[in-house]
Amino acid sequence: MPKRNPPSDRTQATSRLDADRFFTCCDTWQIEALAGRLLRNRPEQPETLHAIEQFVDVLLEPIEQEFGRALLTYGFSGQEMVRAVRSRAAREGRRPNVHPPGDQHAGHELGPRGGRICKRDGIAADLMIPGVSTGVVVEWVRTNLPFDRIYFYGDARPFHLSWGPKPIGQALRMVELATGRLVPRVMARGK
């Protein structure tokens, strides 16, 4: 069996520092939502950790170099986190704004039956830059970075950003219907 090379200092630093933001960004919410019961929200698949490292290197670091520190409002979301999000939304009488089979927050994790939760490769996070219009950040990302998908919810809200090994560069504006349901609309450049 071939020996694996030890990870580079950069990879170790990313795994230890930057990537941790994907798990801890929701810790306060977890405790608040579940009255002190901390969720197990760590990936088990090495491919998920690799995707997080790529997200940090390819997307998050350039965004932060341009605009300053990003606030990650939703990062990696394992099965237990998804159940908690859905449960909280139900208690609050609203729709949960999660779609694990397609939103990439689960990375490469496996469901209870052994299949991938999300068939899309990569990882996603919802983020915003305090004090900067989300629309400005989204347009900069669209112009300068190889992203997979963006879901834009408005100038004063976090946006969904995903990385994938074969980025498609799709940007969608999420429009709320009278029923409260969100529907995607393709965004034109500069809008």
Helices assigned H by DSSP within the chain: 9-13, 21-24, 27-33, 46-55, 61-67, 79-91, 134-144
3-state secondary structure of 11: helix
152: which strand partners?
Answer: 173
Q: What is the pTM of this model?
A: 0.77
Q: How far apart are CA 115 and CA 151, in angstroms?
A: 25
Q: Extract the tokens encoding 64.
A: 């932060």
Q: What is the pLDDT along the chain (191 residues), one digit of tens a residue?
A: 333 233 333 333 333 334 455 555 444 344 344 434 566 778 889 999 899 989 999 999 999 999 999 988 888 887 777 777 777 777 878 766 667 666 898 899 888 888 898 899 999 999 999 999 999 999 999 999 999 999 999 999 999 999 999 999 999 999 989 988 888 899 876 55
Residues in the chain: 191
Listed by start position, the domains of the chain span 9-186
